[in-house]
Amino acid sequence: MSSFITFLNTLQPLSAGLTEAILASTMPEKLPAHHVLLRPGQVARRVYFLETGLVRGYTLLHGREISSWFMQAGDFVISILSFFTQQPSEEYLELLEPAVVHSISYDQLQRLYHDFPEFNFIGRRLIEKYYVLSEQRAQHLRSRTAAERYALLVRDFPTVFQRVALHHIASHLGMAPETLSRLRNKLS
């Protein structure tokens, strides 16, 4: 059985019909590192479930990449702004590692919501989960000093350091890579 069906079942047991409809709408896909799932100007048409791999969301600001978030195996990945509004994205979604993903289109998802009202329960719970994570990241950004923002990331999302390059983390923390390098040196 598909890994993400298993995952959805842990949120709420799926009826046979719903399980079948989900399987019919999705397919696993193996993608190489550096593959780009979405780029500015495109409308986000699909939501991705990561069975394995690592994805980064980022925007270009004055020619610089600003990383907004990192998602790993077991996570759902979308551009929130573009997918929910179905307007052109301003962000990139890029694989940092090779990945196995399952994806479903916006239209197919709306059909599932319509045909299986109980699926709205799952959708709602998942959106709540990622909304909470997003708010937590936003709250971190509001710390004024670089050292504080770094400390909060270490405290709340320590695993990110295991696989993400430091210059990506620096941009995520709103500081220059040099500043992060010096911070880490001083703290060790």
CA dihedral 159, 163, 167, 169 (to 10 degrees): -20
163 binds, among a copy of itself, DNA, none (CB under 5 to 8 A by kind): none
Spatial CB neighbours of 171, under 8 Å, sequence gap ≥ 6: 58, 64, 65, 66, 67, 177
108 binds, among a copy of itself, DNA, none (CB under 5 to 8 A by kind): none
Sites for a copy of itself among residues 66-105 (CB under 8 A) = 66, 68, 80-81, 84-85, 90
Strand ordering across the sheet containing 64-72: 36-38, 92-95, 54-61, 64-72
For position 182 contacting DNA by CB under 7 A, the verdict is yes
Binding mask 20-59 for a copy of itself (x = CB under 8 A): ---------------------------------------x
Please select the residue that binds a copy of itself; options are 36, 120, 154, 187, rule is CB under 8 A.
120
59: contact with DNA by CB under 7 A: no
- CA nearest neighbour of 90 among 39, 164, 52, 47: 39
Tell me: does residue 166 bind DNA (CB under 7 A).
yes
Left if phi > 0, otherwise alpha if psi is -120 to 50, otherwise beta: which for 164?
Answer: beta
Query: Interface residues with DNA (CB under 7 A)?
Result: 144-147, 165-167, 174-182, 184-185
